[in-house]
Chains A and B, each alone.
Chain A
């Protein structure tokens, strides 16, 4: 373990770096973990190394875990099956209460409620999501699709440094050409409308993509710059 090389550095900074990088064996990791708990200066050094190496994590490809992991986590923590209450209009009891004859009382409040969000007559379609990733797997934009409203919220998850160009969003239904959904914002989430004709094409086979275009977007209706990020649409 030791004295194999001359000039082996033993500064605490190194041990912290080795720990964060992940090269230590089980015994060494236990010793370091114990030291982090009792040595505040060393804990700071570990945190500094974590901050130094953290940008590498951008390259880690996100992998959605199976849904039962969340169920197991809640079970282990003793949380209720559902952590957040459903919206009023999605609760079964609310509709029973309505049909029980309280319709008149409810009408006034429902008018304002429904102006903001139409009540679903069918079960609410679960939202669709797409993570648009770079070639190296790092996410660049995330899209959340509300099929009932026909909207897509596009959120940039990394900064856009190319001030001479803008990102343009494309929807590519299976077996079809790319349809532009317009230029999207680079510094904040943006809601875009999905043309009604394309709404029906949204599914697991559809792709959303971002191309690099001149200011104002592609002048031709086709992507003129490289596609730098793309992702499949999938259910949550």
Chain B
């Protein structure tokens, strides 16, 4: 996540800006947009193959941010997490109204990212991310790829089953067990 450690420029500045947006501060809203829109558009573009859909959803995301900033609870989530999760939720909702699902095989879609993580892990790391990576690493590779594809592409069980050529019941069971394992691992 985009989070500098310095409280004056990173998470806390964004948190303050969101609180200001909740009070109707338009300059703070522009700050939030300029600092986070590329990340949130990245989320949309990944989930929605059509660029015009991604642009419409980004617009919907930020009008929601303007209207719902008061409901942001800093004790529950960092500002970027809150924003990214709004973006994912809106983008996935839009993807569900559309028939143009991705058909690329799972392996081709996410294998590259898997390798890239290992390559950079040594120099720049984030504690939470390292922990999640470690717990994902405890899953079987095939299940890990499914979890990652679901997260990044917002793919349904049905889509995952089609793309990985695996029976739907098996996919559901794998994902559900993977979620339980992840939760247990992260709470250790």
Contacts and interface: CB of A to CB of B under 8 A. Distances in A.
Contacts of B128: 54-55
Contacts of B176: 8-9, 14, 18
Contacts of A136: 113, 116-117, 119-120
A26 B95 CA distance: 9
A83 B147 contact: no
Contact of B42 (A53, A62, A76): A62
Interface string B84-96: 1100100011001
A115 interface: no
B187 to A, nearest CB: 9
Contacts of B42: 60-63
Interface residues of A, number: 70
A55 B186 CA distance: 12
Nearest to B187: A52
A188 B13 CA distance: 13
Contact of B175 (A23, A157, A162): A23
Interface stretch (A64-72, A87-95, A96-104, A194-202): A64-72
Interface string A141-183: 0000000000000011111111001000000000000000000
Interface in B1-32: 1-6, 8-10, 26-27, 29-30
Nearest to A229: B124
Contacts of A226: 123
A29 B92 CA distance: 9
A83 B26 CA distance: 6
B132 A55 contact: yes
In this complex, which of A14, A51, A63, A159 has the most chain B Cβ atoms within 10 angstroms of its Cβ? A63
B37 A70 contact: yes
A52 to B, nearest CB: 5
Contact of A5 (B46, B47, B150, B172): B172
Contact of B81 (A22, A51, A59, A165): A51
A44 B76 CA distance: 8
Given A62-B39, A156-B5, A159-B124, A22 B158 contact: no
A214 B84 CA distance: 36
A54 B172 contact: no
Nearest to A71: B59
A60 B158 CA distance: 23
A212 B123 CA distance: 8
Interface string A76-119: 11011001100000000000000000000000000000000000
Nearest to A84: B27
Interface string A121-141: 000000000010011111110
Contact of A160 (B58, B81, B124, B168): B124
Contacts of A189: 4, 6, 9
Given A160-B124, A188-B4, A21 B116 contact: no
A79 B30 CA distance: 11
Top 9 A-B residue pairs of the complex, sorted by shortest distance between their CB atoms: A136-B116, A62-B38, A55-B129, A188-B6, A4-B169, A26-B96, A22-B154, A17-B179, A83-B26
Given A55-B129, A62-B42, A83-B30, 7 more contacts: A25-B158, A61-B42, A69-B59, A83-B26, A134-B116, A162-B124, A188-B8
7 contacts: A56-B132, A57-B1, A58-B1, A65-B41, A83-B30, A159-B126, A159-B127
Interface of B: 1-6, 8-10, 26-27, 29-30, 33-34, 37-39, 41-43, 45-47, 55, 58-59, 62-63, 66, 76-78, 80-81, 84-85, 88, 92-93, 96-97, 113, 116-117, 119-120, 122-129, 131-133, 147-148, 150-158, 160, 168-169, 172-173, 175-176, 179-180, 182-183, 186
